[in-house]
Chain A
Amino acid sequence: MALRTSPEVGGMGHSIKRKEDPRFIRGKGTYVDDVQLPGMLYLDIVRSPHAHAKIVKIDAAKAMAVPGVLAVITGQDLAKYNLHWMPTLMSDTQMVLPVEKVMYQAQEVAAVLATSRYAAADGAAAVEVQYDPLPVVVDPKKALEPGAPVLRTDKKDKKDNHIWHWEWGDKGATDRAFGEAAVTVKEDIYLPRIHVASIETCGCVAHFDRVNDKLTVWMTTQAPHAIRTVFALVAGHVGLAEHKIRIISPDIGGGFGGKVPVYPGYVIAVAASVLTGKPVKWIEDRMENLQADSFARDYHITAELAAKKDGTLTALRIKTLADHGYTDAAANPSKFPAGLFHVCTGSYDLKAAHVEVDGAYTNKPPGGIAYRCSFRVTEAVHTIERMVDLMAHQLNIDPADFRMKNFVKPEQFPYKSALGWEYDSGNYGGALKKAMDTIGYADLRREQAEKRKRGQLMGIGISSFTEIVGAGPSKHFDILGLKMFDSCEIRVHPTGKAIARFGTKSQGQGHETTYAQILAEELGIPAQDIQVEEGDTDTAPYGLGTYASRSTPVAGAAAAVAARKVRDKARKIAAYLLEVAEDDLVWEPGKFSVKGAPSKSKTIQDIAFAAYTNHPQGMEAGLEAVSYYDPPNLTYPFGSYICVVDIDSGTGEVKVRRFVAIDDCGNIINPMIVQGQVHGGLTMGLAPALYEEISYDEIGNVRGGSFIDYLVPTAVETPKWETGHTVTPSPHHPLGAKGVGESATVGAPAAIANAVVDALWYLGVRHIDIPITPAKVWKLLREKGVTE
């Protein structure tokens, strides 16, 4: 895209420096734990050591004797206000504090309110809880077997642990295609539980002001407006009305989907503040964060892929078991219990596909959030990219050639997928070719062949993913009934500076910068002159928040549309000032000039001043606009990644030697920020591919519940990412942009897994579930007779 503004204006395409950085590099950000109010109380939470147990007795006597402890709050206390249960985003129910039994290890059991953080911790340690252990169900397959203990005994009619069955696609056509296929491949793929592990954990400061009857909550949330509405709906019966609730999402230390849900701690803190009239702070520690906050993935997938003899792919069939823990607290749009998993035909022109997913309850924490991806899209991408690779190897066709042959071709866009999505634009072959050229694919294949002769293990893996982001069109997309639009409100001040507010909330993505750039592009007001604000529900327009890569596709579009409304009014004022008809004016970023007389012009700053000082009679003063943007379609970012790994045959270690990522997110707002998003996304793709997992033993004890065993990669494990891009604009987005924050997390794991399998295929290895640990690789190598 050609630059339309100068670097000083800093519109789209300029790598301007971030406006949020000056406070962060000075340590002057304001994160939730930095909020300190006079008289503030602290909350600490007692958690269950058992995965499934009846609560016999909670004895608070010793805790109450700890100096500084003011109260021990239990489910019984909340039950008096009917606040012991709350709805989940998927219209299931979740305990705030239990009355009868706990359903997973680390579940909240009671809360201690005290005058200091240390007293609250002492109080929590002193609460004595007597449990009566119940049979634990950890494996979702066993959960669905006849005779399995029914976990949700709170649901009167529930006779099993099956939550829902969901299917999509043409089953008949798919089965027929498999019947006719010359070649089929089938694989079980497990995507384990992982956790976003943003470096800032979750927490809040709830302050109920009894004088003004107003509740203000500073909280780590990616979706402040929706939270306000949820609070009003859940706590309306105890007198919290929506106009008396203010949610402030301050600086957020990483979100990645983990700060979308409402966790019990928030609710308890709010209840404690309402009851005491004092500010109450609750900040979870890392172990609580990993063990109790929403998990991601936990999909047990069985996939089959069919092809003709010549390698033309024809059909995909998937059955999946989704382990949701004890309640379905996934963060998905209401209509899609498995999220957008049915984008699983990926970048390939398949004629038929069918997907089935069943949800199961187990004695694990709830969740089903994204881990830096749009709803269940990594699950989809990992499946199709593994399966395509499997088929290519099976047919002994180079995986790159095989992809090129089966890609949806550029001329097929807009492309209707076999599962009903309308892909907006793409050039999959272009991205793959660029990745191959960048990494020197042919040379690497030669090197691999030579090394194999010497017994050295080297693999090359490709992932050519298609994402689906920017939820979403109101016809299909809502969360708890709230349509998934987003918003921008712009006010241009008399001196030509502006403030813009949004319904989204940055967690590090750099919205204060990129939104200002969009407005700079559309209005010609320098990005430096535009203040961007988000996260305060008392001031920002309503929006559904930042997750699923929706900020640029939805709120970014709202910014463009609102700016164009401002421009429309500016044109009227300019025509008045220049005494010409509106049609006689030509716009270039920053000014209107008269057609054929370019010296006769008015800058946006002139016009802004006139809007308050010299506006046309009959026109309202001021220069502002608001847009609630309802996207006509989702956007489909894509890319091709190539990864080279070397495997140590003695230890099983996998070393990522090179990783080239070519992304296409349509038109780019700030190349520096886009590259940064890709770097971060790749690292969060590397992490589950090789390191991170949360698992449970047979009695439901969590493994990987602290940073001791939850292995967030450091700079040493992380390779030096090589990035690049192609540009295929979205035809329906006002800026041609698509969103990029999650692409790399979605696309990278398959590239790494494919590289490892590529290295070991000749030994007979067909698949390895992630995380691909040294121990797993070693086991495969020894089974295949490879040793050092």
Chain B
Amino acid sequence: MIPAAFEYHTPSTIGEATALLAKLGDDAKVLSGGQSLIPLMKLRLASPAHLVDINGIPGLSGIREADGFLRIGALTRESELEESEVVRSRYPLLHDTSKVIADPLVRNLATVGGNLAHGDPANDHPATMLALGAEIVAVGPKGERRVPIASFFTGPFATSLRPDEILVEIRIPSPPARSGGAYLKLERKVGDFATAAVAAQVTIGANGACEHVGIGLTNVGLTPIKATKAEAALKGKAPDEAAIKRAAELAAEASEPSADLRGSVEYKKDLVRVLTARALRKAVERAGSRR
């Protein structure tokens, strides 16, 4: 499997990169981790005439908490996320997610930004970021703008990034006390995309009710899905078994999977129900241990 020929560009600043993208238009693709793009190119399902490699641009990598956000540079590798102490201790949902993306070798190159910018509903970060209420920082020739994650995914493999924009950072609001999250993914084997996966994030208030609920669904629709009705059903309620079950049913209703080798529509919808309930239970349990 040999990719078609292309021209290779190595901008050293964001400005250079966005200028190149503006000039080259649809003929260009941004190369970050390459772990989705290069396989597509080898299969010749993608044959961009130009690759704009942003790996040489300084400052696009790193994880830090600042200004009430967890700020993740777009070029941060999944393995960095997996090994990050702050992620492990304060963002269990994100930590869970980082461990089940593709396989350990792929995670050494794959980037958080790429996982989102690819717009693939089967990728794992989109659901997680939906549950966490993240925002995307994009830079284009006209400057920087922030996009709430809920309006980022516009269609299958499509995002609200403009062709001349580069995703530079992901910002996740730092969770208050008594928050917890979990990502549960059913995959046929390591390295597979999810048959279905559910990201759940909750914050429990002093009265024991859910102050905040975020639920994101992976690979059960044409885009990543934010299960808003399920979130609303649980919000303000004590996360007891009945409330969790109700939310899980609503999440299943929100899913729009299609049948494939991984399973039927019915199976996937039911998986969403089962995994949502389990993820919520785990999230609540974790919230309880994080006062």
Q: Separation in Å of the A210 CB from the closest CB of chain B?
A: 30
> Within residues 176 to 215 of chain B, which ones have a CB less than 8 A from any CB in chain A?
186, 188-192, 195
* Interface: B134 (CB within 8 A): no
Q: Cβ of A176 < 8 Å from any Cβ of B?
A: no
Which residues from 255 to 279 on chain B have a C-beta closer than 8 Å to any C-beta of chain A? 261-264, 267, 270-271, 274-275, 277-278
For B4, what are the chain A residues with a Cβ–Cβ distance below 8 Å?
Answer: 122, 125
Q: Which residue of B lies closest to A788 (CB)?
A: B274
Given contacts A122-B2, A287-B1, contact A778 B270 (CB under 8 A): yes
- Contact count band on B: 20 to 34
| Beta-carbon contact of A285 and B262 below 8 Å | no
Which residues of A, 266-291, contact B by the 8 Å Cβ criterion? 285-287
B33-71 vs A, Cβ < 8 Å mask (1 yes, 0 no): 000000000001000000000000000000000000000
- Whether A1 sits at the interface, judged by CB under 8 Å, is no
Chain B proximity of A292: nearest CB distance (Å): 14
**CB-defined contacts of B195 to chain A, threshold 8 Å:** 774-775
**Cβ–Cβ < 8 Å partners of B267 in chain A:** 652, 775, 778-779
Give the interface SS of chain B, mostly helix, strand, loop or mixed: loop
Say yes or no: B278 contacts A717, CB within 8 Å. no
At the interface, yes or no: A91 with Cβ under 8 Å from chain B?
A: no
Q: In this assembly, does A118 line the interface, its C-beta being within 8 Å of a C-beta of chain B?
A: yes
What separation, in Å, do the CA atoms of A788 and B274 have in the docked complex? 7
For A286, A287, A778, A782, which residue has the most chain B Cβ atoms within 10 angstroms?
A778
CA distance A713 to B192 in the complex (A): 11
CB-CB contacts below 8 Å: A615-656 with B: 650-653
Q: Decide: A653 near B262, CB < 8 A? Known: A121-B2, A125-B4, A711-B192.
A: no
Q: Which of B1-15 contact A (CB under 8 A)?
A: 1-2, 4-5
Smallest CB separation, B250 vs chain A (Å): 17
**Chain A proximity of B102: nearest CB distance (Å):** 12
A295 to chain B, nearest CB (A): 17
Chain A residues with Cβ below 8 Å from B190 are 714, 716-717
A19 interfacial by beta-carbon distance below 8 Å: no
- Would A650 and B188 count as touching, CB distance under 8 A? no
* C-alpha spacing A303/B263, complex, angstroms: 28
The distance from the CB of A62 to the nearest CB of chain B, in whole angstroms, is 14
The distance from the CB of A131 to the nearest CB of chain B, in whole angstroms, is 19
Judging by beta carbons under 8 Å apart, are B188 and A117 in contact?
A: no
CB-CB under 8 A for A711 and B44, given A651-B274, A774-B195, A778-B267:
no
The residues in A between 664 and 718 inclusive whose CB is less than 8 angstroms from any CB of B are: 691, 703-704, 708-709, 711-714, 716-717
B229: min CB distance to chain A, Å: 21
Q: How far is the CA of A787 from the CA of B252 in the complex (A)?
A: 15
- For A118, give the chain B residue with the smallest CB separation: B2
Contact A650 B274, beta carbon cutoff 8 Å = yes
Distance in angstroms from A710 CB to nearest chain B CB is: 10
Within 8 A of A (CB), among B145-190: 186, 188-190
Question: When the two chains form the complex, which single residue of A117, A650, A709 contacts B2, counting CB atoms closer than 8 Å?
Answer: A117
- Whether the Cβ atoms of A285 and B261 lie closer than 8 Å is no
Nearest-neighbour CB distance to chain B for A125, whole angstroms, equals: 6
Q: Report B-chain residues with C-beta under 8 Å of the C-beta of A773.
A: 188, 263
Tell me how many residues of A have a C-beta within 8 Å of chain B: 31
Give the residues in chain B near A709, CB-CB below 8 Å.
Answer: 261
A711 with B189: in contact, given A775-B263, A779-B267 (CB under 8 Å)?
A: yes
A651 interface neighbour in B44, B264, B271, Cβ under 8 Å? B271
The CA of A402 and the CA of B273, in the complex, are separated in Å by: 41
Contact of A714 among B44, B189, B277, B278 (CB under 8 A): B189
Contacts of A122 in B (CB 8 A): 2, 4-5
Question: Which residues on the A side are within 8 Å of B191 (C-beta)?
Answer: 714
Chain A stretch 736-788: residues in CB contact (< 8 A) with chain B: 773-775, 778-779, 782, 787-788
* Candidates A117, A285, A651; contact of B186 at CB < 8 Å: A651
Residues of B within 8 A of A653 (CB): 186
On whether the beta carbons of A711 and B1 are closer than 8 Å, the reply is no
Chain B residues, Cβ within 8 Å of A774 = 186, 188, 195, 263
Give the distance in Å from the alpha carbon of A286 to the alpha carbon of B103 in the complex. 19
Question: Closest CB-CB distance, A116 to chain B, in whole Å?
Answer: 10
- Most A Cβ at <10 Å: residue of B188, B192, B271: B188
Contact A716 B2 (CB under 8 A): no
Complex contacts, A287 vs chain B, CB 8 Å: 1
Chain B residues positioned under 8 Å from A285 (CB to CB): 1
Say which residue of B189, B264, B275 sits within 8 Å of A775 (CB atoms). B264
**Complexed CA–CA distance, A703 and B278 (Å):** 32
Query: CB distance B278 to A650 under 8 Å?
Result: yes
C-alpha gap A272/B4 in the complex (Å)? 25
Interface residue ranges of A6-56 to B (CB < 8 Å): none
In the assembly, what is the distance between CA of A782 and CA of B1, in Å?
A: 42
Most buried by A among B1, B2, B277: B2
Task: Give the one of A691, A775, A787 with max B CB within 10 A.
Answer: A775
Q: Could you tell me the distance between the alpha carbons of A708 and B189 in the complex, rounded to whole angstroms?
A: 10
CA gap between A118 and B2 in the complex, in Å: 6
Chain A positions 237-292 with a Cβ under 8 Å from a chain B Cβ: 285-287
> Which residues of chain B are within 8 angstroms of A117 by Cβ–Cβ distance?
2
The minimal Cβ–Cβ distance linking A115 to chain B, given in whole angstroms, is 14
User: Which A residues are CB-close (under 8 A) to B103?
Assistant: 714
Closest 5 CB pairs of A and B: A775-B263, A121-B2, A650-B274, A714-B190, A716-B190
29 contacts between A and B (CB under 8 A): A117-B2, A121-B1, A121-B2, A122-B2, A122-B4, A125-B4, A285-B1, A650-B274, A650-B278, A651-B186, A651-B271, A651-B275, A653-B186, A711-B188, A711-B189, A711-B192, A713-B189, A714-B189, A714-B190, A716-B189, A717-B189, A773-B263, A774-B186, A774-B195, A774-B263, A775-B262, A778-B263, A779-B264, A779-B267
- Chain B interface residues toward A at CB < 8 A: 1-2, 4-5, 44, 103, 186, 188-192, 195, 261-264, 267, 270-271, 274-275, 277-278
Interface contacts beyond A287-B1, A653-B186, A773-B188: sample of 15 additional A-B pairs, CB < 8 Å, sorted by A: A121-B1, A121-B2, A122-B2, A125-B4, A651-B275, A708-B192, A709-B261, A713-B189, A774-B195, A775-B195, A775-B263, A778-B271, A779-B264, A787-B270, A788-B274
